[in-house]
Amino acid sequence: DAGITQSPRHKVTETGTPVTLRCHQTENHRYMYWYRQDPGHGLRLIHYSYGVKDTDKGEVSDGYSVSRSKTEDFLLTLESATSSQTSVYFCATLVGANSPLHFGNGTRLTVT
């Protein structure tokens, strides 16, 4: 969908290790978002970007950082993974407010 690729698709890591998830898009969409999916919480916004090098915090940004050095890539880094960050992470892109979000296929992260 909209050429969005998330990598890796699955990852198991240990508590305390840094982890980087990648979102790559081929559609030149300006806005990019990282969400996490947890039972009972729906999708919660972690960080988002409104342009190259322009990022801002979402609802649940503690323990996460992002970078967007070029339009097509939006990286999400867990600086020191904790078990509470075990989740499914979705990247999404947006052309503009009147358009729908396009989602990647998700990354399932397990922190042991």
Partner 1 sequence: ILNVEQSPQSLHVQEGDSTNFTCSFPSSNFYALHWYRWETAKSPEALFVMTLNGDEKKKGRISATLNTKEGYSYLYIKGSQPEDSATYLCAFYGGATNKLIFGTGTLLAVQP
* Residues within the interface to partner 1 (CB under 8 A): 1, 31, 33, 35, 40-45, 48, 50, 56, 58-59, 90, 92, 94, 97-101, 103-106
Q: Which is nearer to partner 1, 64 or 90 (CB)?
A: 90
To 5 degrees, how large is the angle CA 50–CA 51–CA 53? 115
Cα angle vertex 85, ends 79, 91, to 5°? 85
Smallest gap from Cβ 24 to partner 1, in A, equals 15
* Nearer to partner 1 (CB atom), residue 18 or residue 51: 51
CB of 49 to partner 1, least distance (A): 9
For residue 16, count other CB atoms closer than 10 A to its CB: 10
For residue 30, the minimal CB distance to partner 1 (Å) is: 9
Longest dimension (CA), the chain: 41
* Torsion angle of the four alpha carbons 2, 87, 11, 53, in this order, in degrees rounded to the nearest 10: 50
CB 44 to partner 1: min, Å: 7
Nearer to partner 1, 33 or 81 (CB): 33
Nearer to partner 1, 76 or 81 (CB): 76
